[in-house]
Structure 1
Amino acid sequence: MDTLRAMRTFVRTLELGSLSAAARELGTTQPTVSKLLAQLEQHLSVRLFQRSTRGLSPTDQGRQFYLDAKLVLDGFDAAVGTVQGMTGQVSGLLRINAPVGLGQLRINAIVGRFLAAHPAVEIELVLDDRYIDMVAEGVDIAFRLGGPLPPDVTGRHLATVPRFLAASPAYLQQRGEPEQPADLTGHDFVRFAWTPGTTIDLHRGDQALQVPVSSRYRVNNALAIREALVLDSGIAICPDWLIHDLLSSGALVQVLPGWMARSQDLYVLAPSRHYQPLRVKAFIDFAVDQFSQIGGFHVAAPAQGVQTPPSTTV
């Protein structure tokens, strides 16, 4: 029996809660996972799972073995990482999670450049606006815009992103350009669907306003908001990273320059553990450098740990 493989299979099966989920992640079949777990139980002479029609649940011995197995696997990964670090070799599979818009517009290109620089690395980029459980879903690195951030992660603040009003020149020519925040009331406002209320908060220096807006179109996807503005659908609050290229090309323009919405914070996170694989450290360092070269991000100085920011939306 391949003991390390069996232990990894057991750990991920417990964390994911099912044989099928573990099989999908590990690139094998459900019968193979079941066989490995049975061999491990036979080797240990203990039952690790209670099996029922409702699924799997760990026994007391299983819960204890999970904690000890995690330490063994972390120690093994640390030893591998030390050897790889001595040679500078970066290899293995990275599972990265990011919001859909940020992932498609910005992180996708970063991943491509990282793969070109490290031929022994594989990357699975999972784009989802949902805040996932990194441990349960086997994610090595996650990018987060705003918060709140989960307590069981480590990471760093990557950048601060300005957010402001934008629209297409054609829309403003047709409907007129607002000269003051109160003028927004008479305009079509494209709004992120999860943003509550019928007002927006704006500030200019020390002056802060809450402005009523009419949102006949609400959408839960940042890329759809970007496209809606290009299609002359109205005015929206956008983070700089989302429309930086469109502003540069003139496809969109800033509305009420000087009036800003609350800025967005970008974080890169990894699960809390004693050891981080070399590929995780290498990608985070690479991403920090890459974001410093992308328009729309005000990259922060290196920070110690993560502070939970207020929740923000696109």
Structure 2
Amino acid sequence: MKIDSLQLFVDVAELGSFSAVAKKLDLPRANISRRIADIEAALDVTLFIRSTRQLSLTPLGRAYYHDVKLALQAFNTACNNLKKVNLSPSGKIKIGLPPTAERSTVTLITRFLKNYPDLDIEVLYTHNCYKDFCEQGLDIALHMGTMPPSDLIARRVMSYSKRIVASHDFIHQFGKPSDIFQLSTMPSVCYRLPDGTLENKWDSNFGVVNVKPVITTNSVDMMLQVILEGQAFGLMPDMFSSPYVDKGKLAVLLPSLTMPESELYIVYPQKNSISLGASFLIEYLLAEIPKAVELS
């Protein structure tokens, strides 16, 4: 039974006339009469006593009217509540960030919350946003690198480049490599990708080299610390290493070397299954993360 058919029945019961309802809805009287007859046929019940002067409800019709009236009120309340939520986002959003997420991303999230005080955001650091999406009940996740096949929607946030960096103490001890292949003889720190792959095969405009890590980690912060302490050189995203290069704490090895850029994506389920708050946060991060990285 359609909602508009139930509402039509209530209108006829309250106005007591097909003609009055037809006038109210700007429909032919015959249309109203036929639709009420269809309802009665579907229920196999006579709802109205018809006379030449007026309509009146049968006992079963009165009971049905009472129940339908309550049901329509509950339905309208539910719709109004949903509209209120859509006008002012509230509730909880769970976002997954990779261990490589820049601190400025967390700063952006706290700024976003100031505009929407009725929202609560839970930030989780995840090593595999696709696997963790279901296991941890995420609404949104950031993903760095290659996109595996998935039913999730992935929107590109930005591209980022990587450079090989080392501390001046490291260079003093091991020297500066004159070509990429000399890197295979020097101690390196390498990143372990979320899928378990070790990032030790580096493709560049000067060729491909396999480096030999003395330290392997899935933490960019640890990689950076190892490099700053002079224990190894490493391949770091510019967004993390540039501030230290600019301050003279790190140097770029083989500065004319270039590597393929990587991508940062924001990942989420189908649009019709996310809350308004999550939708707002997605659009906000898409616009603000590139700006924040550029300024960092």
CA distance in 2, matches of 1:242, 1:164: 10
CA distance in 1, matches of 2:143, 2:219: 15
Superposition deviation, residue 180 in structure 1: 1.5
CA distance in 2, matches of 1:279, 1:96: 12
Residue pair 1:78, 1:275 contacting (<8 A) in 2 also: no
1:293 is aligned to: 291
1:34 is aligned to: none
- Cα-to-partner distance string for 1:214-266 (whole Å, 9 max, x where unaligned): 32222222211011111111111111223232223222222111213332211
CA separation of 1:79 and 1:282: change in aligned 2, threshold 3 A: farther
1:241 is aligned to: 239
TM-score when scaled to structure 2?
0.65
Superposition deviation, residue 123 in structure 1: 0.5
Q: Which has the higher strand share?
A: 1
Superposition deviation, residue 99 in structure 1: 0.8
Secondary structure at 1:292 match in 2: helix
Counterpart residue identity of residue 167, structure 2:
S
1:10 is aligned to: none
Residue pair 2:105, 2:289 contacting (<8 A) in 1 also: no
- Cα-to-partner distance string for 1:55-99 (whole Å, 9 max, x where unaligned): xxxxxxxxxxxxxxxxxxxxx9997664444x4x23221100011
How many residue pairs were aligned? Answer: 215
Superposition deviation, residue 108 in structure 1: 1.5
Gaps of 5+ in 2: 1-76
CA separation of 1:284 and 1:295: change in aligned 2, threshold 3 A: same
Superposition deviation, residue 294 in structure 1: 2.4
Is 2:166 aligned against 1:167?
yes
Secondary structure at 2:95 match in 1: strand
- Cα-to-partner distance string for 1:252-285 (whole Å, 9 max, x where unaligned): 2221112133322110011125243211111111
Identity of aligned residues (%): 19
CA separation of 1:77 and 1:100: change in aligned 2, threshold 3 A: farther
CA distance in 2, matches of 1:78, 1:277: 15
Is 2:178 aligned against 1:179?
yes
- Cα-to-partner distance string for 1:167-212 (whole Å, 9 max, x where unaligned): 1122112221112212213311111244448x632322xxx51224
CA separation of 1:133 and 1:184: change in aligned 2, threshold 3 A: closer
CA separation of 1:236 and 1:81: change in aligned 2, threshold 3 A: farther
CA distance in 1, matches of 2:116, 2:251: 39
1:109 is aligned to: 107
Correspondence 1:193-204 to 2 at 5 A? 193=192, 194-196=196-198, 200-204=201-205
CA separation of 1:77 and 1:157: change in aligned 2, threshold 3 A: farther
CA distance in 2, matches of 1:136, 1:78: 31
1:192 is aligned to: 191
Secondary structure at 1:241 match in 2: helix
Counterpart residue identity of residue 172, structure 1:
I
Correspondence 1:219-298 to 2 at 5 A? 219-295=217-293
CA distance in 1, matches of 2:250, 2:213: 19
CA distance in 1, matches of 2:80, 2:257: 53
Residue pair 1:102, 1:242 contacting (<8 A) in 2 also: no
CA distance in 2, matches of 1:234, 1:78: 60
Counterpart residue identity of residue 201, structure 2:
I
TM-score when scaled to structure 1?
0.61
CA distance in 1, matches of 2:132, 2:182: 42
Superposition deviation, residue 109 in structure 1: 1.3
Match 1:209 to one of 192, 207, 210: 207
CA distance in 1, matches of 2:115, 2:151: 30
Q: Which has the higher helix share?
A: 2
- Cα-to-partner distance string for 1:105-160 (whole Å, 9 max, x where unaligned): 23211211111222111100010213334244321101001233352211311111
1:134 is aligned to: 133
Higher relative contact order by CA 8 Å / sep ≥ 6: 1 or 2? 1
CA separation of 1:185 and 1:93: change in aligned 2, threshold 3 A: same
Secondary structure at 1:142 match in 2: strand
- Cα-to-partner distance string for 1:33-61 (whole Å, 9 max, x where unaligned): xxxxxxxxxxxxxxxxxxxxxxxxxxxxx
